[in-house]
C-alpha cells in the first residue's frame, strides 16, 4: 500500500477502523483470557482519558514536563511501597516487562563489572522464567543457563539446580512471582538465601504478579515472601499494564538501592547533539503511559485493587473447582490469576483448538502440554460459560471429531 495522495476525513477513517476491529477478539465480552486485562468499562475510561491528556508530552524531558517526572516518581514510589522496598530503594517506569527485564539485566551486568567481573557473563534462570531474559541476554551477548524445575509436581524453581549452574561469571539469578507458564510463585526466600551465600544478584520477575500478589495477600491469600522484604532481592520487574490495569506501555523496574540503580541510566555527551541522560532503553517516552498508570492507581487505591484482585482469585478458585470435578489436573498450586491444567485422557492442544472454535481466546503451556488461562476481574462472571464450552470441547475431542491430536498446534501470530 502507498500513502494516499490526498487525506481522508477522520469520520471516514474512524468508521473504517471500527469495521476492521470487528474481526478482533471480543475481549470486552470476557471470552479472552490472554493479552488483555479487563477491569471493566470504568477503569478503561480512566485509562483512555488520562492517556490522551498527556499523549503528546514526552517523558524524555523532565524539565519541560515536571508533571510527568512527578507522576513517574509517585508511581515508582507506590510500587516500592507495595513491594517492601527498603529506605533508599528506587526505580523507573519502562515500556513493559521485556523492557524492565532488559534494563535490570543491563544494570546487574554493569554492577558485576564494577566489582571486577570480566569473563563471559552468564545468567541462571529456572526453566519457567519468561523468554524476555533470553531476549535481553541475546542483545547483550550474555549466556543463559536454564535450570530444571523441582520434580515434585510443584512447578517451582529448584534452588539447588540453580546453585549448580552459578559460577564467578554469573551476573544474575532469577525467580518469578509468579512464572507465566504455570502461574506458580518460585521459592524466592530460598533463592534469596542462595543469592546472599553466593554473592550473586537476584532479580524477581513479578511482571504479572507485582500488582496482584500484595492485594491477594491483603485479601487473605497465603502468598509467600517474594519481594524486597527478602534481603537477597536486588531488583524486581512489575508490570502496570497487567494486573495494575494501566494502559499498555507501562511497567516498573525497581532496585534495592540507588547504589545499584546508578548502573542503569545511560549518560552520554560524545556526539554533536546536546548531552543526554536517559534512565531506560527509550529516548522519547510516551507521557500517556505514565499519566494513565498514575491515574488508574490513584483511581483504584488499595480498596479498588483489593476488590478487583479478589474477583480474579475467586474466578481462579471457581474454575479450579470445576476443572477438578471434570477430572483435570491443575499444575502445582496457583495462588494468583494464572492457571495451567491438563486432562489425563484428552490432548490439551486439541481441547485448545475446540475451545477456540467456541469463541475463547486463551493460551497453552508447552511443558507439560496443558491449557492456560490468564484471568481478569471480568472472568468472575464467565466461569460457568467457560466450563460449559469446555465440556462441549471435551465431548468433541473424546468422540475423535476434532483434528488428529498431533496435527493441532496453537497459533499466536
Ligand X SMILES: *Cc1c(COP(=O)(O)O)cnc(C)c1O
- Answer for which of 57, 156, 158, 205 binds ligand X (CB under 6 A) is 205
Question: Which helix (H) or strand (E) element contains residue 145?
Answer: strand 143-147
Q: Given the complex with ligand X, which of 337 and 353 has the nearer CB atom?
A: 337
Residue in the structure block whose three cell numbers are 535450570: 147
State the number of binding residues for ligand X (CB under 6 A): 13
Closest distance to ligand X from the beta carbon of 128 (Å): 9
Q: Enumerate residues 251-280 that contact ligand X by CB under 6 A.
A: 251
Closest distance to ligand X from the beta carbon of 103 (Å): 12
Q: Enumerate residues 237-256 that contact ligand X by CB under 6 A.
A: 239, 251
Q: Given the complex with ligand X, which of 179 and 396 has the nearer CB atom?
A: 179
Q: In angstroms, what CA-CA distances link 89 with 52, 71, 212, 339?
A: 31, 17, 20, 32
CA angle 181, 411, 130 (to 5 degrees): 25
Integer Cα distance of 204 and 358 in angstroms:
37
Segment contacting ligand X (CB under 6 A): 202-210, 224-232, 297-305, 393-401?
202-210
Integer Cα distance of 133 and 129 in angstroms:
8
* Interaction of residue 130 with ligand X, rule CB under 6 A: yes
Q: Given the complex with ligand X, which of 208 and 293 has the nearer CB atom?
A: 208
Residue pair 112/168 in contact (Cβ under 8 Å)? The answer is no
Q: Given the complex with ligand X, which of 208 and 292 has the nearer CB atom?
A: 208
* Interaction of residue 397 with ligand X, rule CB under 6 A: no
Closest distance to ligand X from the beta carbon of 179 (Å): 6
Q: Given the complex with ligand X, which of 97 and 377 has the nearer CB atom?
A: 97
Burial readout 317-345 (b: 16 or more C-beta within 10 A, e: otherwise): ebbbebbeeeebebbbebbbbbbbbbbee
Q: Given the complex with ligand X, which of 158 and 205 has the nearer CB atom?
A: 205
CA angle 326, 332, 336 (to 5 degrees): 90
Question: Which helix (H) or strand (E) element contains residue 172?
Answer: strand 170-176
* Interaction of residue 174 with ligand X, rule CB under 6 A: no
Segment contacting ligand X (CB under 6 A): 75-83, 174-182, 213-221, 354-362?
174-182
* Interaction of residue 370 with ligand X, rule CB under 6 A: no
Q: Given the complex with ligand X, which of 125 and 297 has the nearer CB atom?
A: 125
Biggest distance spanned by C-alpha atoms of the chain: 70
* Interaction of residue 337 with ligand X, rule CB under 6 A: no
Closest distance to ligand X from the beta carbon of 235 (Å): 13
In the structure grid, which three cell numbers stand for residue 3, read together? Answer: 500513502
Q: In angstroms, what CA-CA distances link 9 with 4, 5, 213, 319?
A: 12, 13, 46, 47
Segment contacting ligand X (CB under 6 A): 204-212, 273-281, 375-383, 397-405?
204-212
Closest distance to ligand X from the beta carbon of 176 (Å): 5
Integer Cα distance of 103 and 281 in angstroms:
7
- Answer for which of 38, 47, 122, 176 binds ligand X (CB under 6 A) is 176
- Answer for which of 132, 149, 238, 254 binds ligand X (CB under 6 A) is 132
Task: Provide CB contacts within 8 A for 73, sequence distance 6+.
Answer: none
Q: Which residue is nearest to ligand X (CB)?
A: 97
Task: Provide CB contacts within 8 A for 180, sequence distance 6+.
Answer: 128, 130, 208, 338
Closest distance to ligand X from the beta carbon of 272 (Å): 33
Closest distance to ligand X from the beta carbon of 366 (Å): 15
* Interaction of residue 97 with ligand X, rule CB under 6 A: yes
* Interaction of residue 207 with ligand X, rule CB under 6 A: yes
Half-sphere exposure of 118 (CA within 13 A, CB side): 1
Q: What is the contact surface with ligand X in residues (CB under 6 A)?
A: 96-98, 130, 132, 176, 179-180, 205, 207-208, 239, 251
Amino acid at each position: 500500500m502507498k500513502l494516499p495522495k490526498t487525506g481522508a476525513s477522520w469520520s471516514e477513517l474512524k468508521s473504517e477502523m471500527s469495521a476492521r476491529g470487528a474481526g478482533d477478539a471480543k475481549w470486552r465480552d470476557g471470552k479472552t483470557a490472554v493479552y488483555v486485562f479487563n477491569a471493566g468499562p470504568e477503569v478503561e475510561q480512566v485509562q483512555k482519558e488520562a492517556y490522551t491528556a498527556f499523549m503528546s508530552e514526552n517523558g524524555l524531558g523532565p524539565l519541560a514536563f515536571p508533571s510527568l517526572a512527578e507522576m513517574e516518581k509517585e508511581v515508582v514510589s507506590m510500587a516500592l511501597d507495595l513491594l517492601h522496598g527498603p529506605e533508599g530503594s528506587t526505580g523507573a517506569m519502562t515500556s513493559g516487562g521485556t523492557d524492565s527485564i532488559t534494563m535490570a539485566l543491563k544494570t546487574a551486568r554493569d554492577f558485576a563489572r564494577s566489582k571486577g567481573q570480566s569473563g563471559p557473563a552468564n545468567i541462571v534462570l529456572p526453566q519457567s522464567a519468561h523468554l524476555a531474559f533470553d531476549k535481553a541476554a541475546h542483545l547483550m551477548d550474555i549466556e543463559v543457563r536454564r535450570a530444571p524445575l523441582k520434580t515434585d509436581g510443584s512447578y517451582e524453581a529448584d534452588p539447588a539446580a540453580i546453585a549448580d549452574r552459578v559460577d564467578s561469571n554469573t551476573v544474575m539469578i532469577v525467580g518469578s512471582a509468579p512464572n507465566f507458564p504455570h502461574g506458580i510463585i518460585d521459592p524466592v526466600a530460598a533463592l534469596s538465601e542462595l543469592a546472599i551465600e553466593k554473592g550473586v544478584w537476584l532479580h524477581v520477575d513479578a511482571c504479572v504478579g507485582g500488582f496482584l500478589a500484595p492485594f491477594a495477600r491483603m485479601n487473605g491469600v497465603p502468598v509467600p515472601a517474594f519481594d524486597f522484604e527478602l534481603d537477597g532481592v536486588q531488583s524486581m520487574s512489575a508490570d502496570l499494564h497487567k494486573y495494575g490495569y494501566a494502559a499498555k506501555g507501562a511497567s516498573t523496574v525497581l532496585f534495592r538501592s540507588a547504589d545499584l540503580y546508578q548502573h542503569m541510566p545511560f549518560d552520554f555527551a560524545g556526539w554533536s547533539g546536546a548531552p543526554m541522560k536517559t534512565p531506560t532503553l527509550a529516548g522519547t517516552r510516551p507521557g500517556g503511559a505514565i499519566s494513565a498508570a498514575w491515574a488508574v492507581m490513584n483511581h483504584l487505591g488499595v480498596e479498588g485493587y483489593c476488590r478487583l484482585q479478589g474477583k480474579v482469585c475467586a474466578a481462579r478458585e471457581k474454575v479450579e473447582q470445576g476443572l477438578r470435578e471434570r477430572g483435570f489436573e491443575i499444575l502445582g498450586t496457583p495462588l494468583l490469576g494464572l492457571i495451567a491444567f491438563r486432562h489425563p485422557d484428552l490432548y490439551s492442544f486439541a481441547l485448545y483448538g475446540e475451545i477456540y472454535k467456541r469463541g475463547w481466546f486463551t493460551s497453552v503451556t508447552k511443558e507439560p502440554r496443558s491449557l492456560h488461562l490468564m484471568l481478569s476481574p471480568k472472568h468472575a462472571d464467565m466461569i460457568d460459560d467457560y466450563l460449559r464450552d469446555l465440556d462441549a470441547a471435551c465431548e468433541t475431542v473424546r468422540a475423535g471429531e476434532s483434528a488428529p491430536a498431533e496435527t493441532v498446534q496453537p497459533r499466536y501470530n
